[in-house]
Chain A
Amino acid sequence: MILNQFLLLAAALFCIGVYGVLVRKNGMLVLMSVELILNAVNINLVAFGALTDDVGGEVFALFTIAVAAAEVGIGLAIVLLMYRNRRSIDLSEADLMKG
């Protein structure tokens, strides 16, 4: 096993997630793409932790998982509020703060 196979896999997942965030209009699907990005970061953290034989990588991967759970909770609450107010979760219609 070489380190790079994990890092390249994580990079690929990250880029797919970025593409999803840019291309999706449905708020729910954007949140799912963000999850892809966060998981790519987790693979990196654990891989570097294994490389340096340090437990810190795993610990911060666990913190990232906790923060991602909080993010999904708040994100879904916002999407639900948006649906309640305008009967749609199309993000391109959310232009209230547009200058």
Chain B
Amino acid sequence: MIGSILAAEFTDTEKWVVNSFWGVIAAVMIVAALRVVTTKNVVHAALWLVVVLAGVAIQFIFLGSEFVAVTQILVYIGAVVVLFLFGVMLTRASMGDDESVGEEKRTMAALVGVMLAVVMAVALVDTYGDDQLIIDEPQRVDEVSDAIFSQYIVPFEAVSVLLLAALIGAIVVARKD
């Protein structure tokens, strides 16, 4: 998989190709994310969200986590986006344009976003600088499953109960009575 391409023994040219590919994916993700929060059409926003989610899955493959990448595609693109599209269909009033908040609030929100980005970027560059990420081989799926069912068994059970509660809660909230 692509994760193993990042191994240290590759030449500079090959590393450059991988890094450029990464840059293209990242740029597409940023543009798609901006479209998600700016487009007027709700269905278009959901479809731009698919691009972002697929980009995140590719980032997971870059990081050598194939299992998380596949789960991302199955759960997010397969289930969550479909759920969103169903929600858009069921609330017909929102099919048209979404009139956003006023210009002043929009400016303030952009200011909050930019300032947050600057703070985080400065902190990250200051803390991690040029720390190399060496991914020799993809993370093995059996290690992940072993960890989930031994070390992380309590959070796993908590997530199971949470999903059950969410299932029942969604039915109770949304049913007609």
Residues of A within 8 A of B (CB): 1-9, 11-20, 22-29, 31-33, 35-36, 39, 42-43, 46-47, 49-51, 55-56, 58-63, 65-74, 76-81, 83-84, 87-89, 92
Contacts and interface: CB of A to CB of B under 8 A. Distances in A.
Given A1-B6, A15-B114, A16-B30, A50 B124 contact: no
A36 B86 CA distance: 19
Nearest to A88: B93
Contact of B170 (A2, A24, A77, A84): A77
A13 B52 CA distance: 9
A60 B46 CA distance: 25
The secondary structure that dominates the B interface is helix
Interface in B87-108: 87-88, 90-91, 93-94, 98-101, 105-106, 108
B114 A43 contact: no
The secondary structure that dominates the A interface is helix
Given A6-B133, A25-B100, A72 B83 contact: yes
A16 to B, nearest CB: 4
Contacts of B155: 60, 63
5 contacts: A18-B112, A25-B98, A28-B88, A46-B59, A72-B84
A83 B133 contact: no
Interface of B: 6, 18-19, 22, 26, 29-30, 33-34, 36-37, 42, 45-46, 49, 52-53, 56, 59-60, 62-65, 67-68, 71-72, 75-76, 79-80, 83-84, 86-88, 90-91, 93-94, 98-101, 105-106, 108-110, 112-114, 116-117, 120-121, 124-125, 128-133, 135, 139, 143-144, 147-148, 151-152, 155-156, 159, 162-163, 165-167, 169-171, 173-174, 176
Contacts of A18: 109, 112-113, 116
Contact of B109 (A9, A19, A27): A19
A7 to B, nearest CB: 5
A19 B68 CA distance: 27
Contact of B91 (A6, A28, A47, A56): A28
A64 B132 CA distance: 26
A2 B173 contact: no
Contact of A20 (B37, B53, B59, B171): B37
Contacts of A13: 29-30, 33, 52
Contacts of A60: 152, 155
Contact of B56 (A11, A32, A42): A42
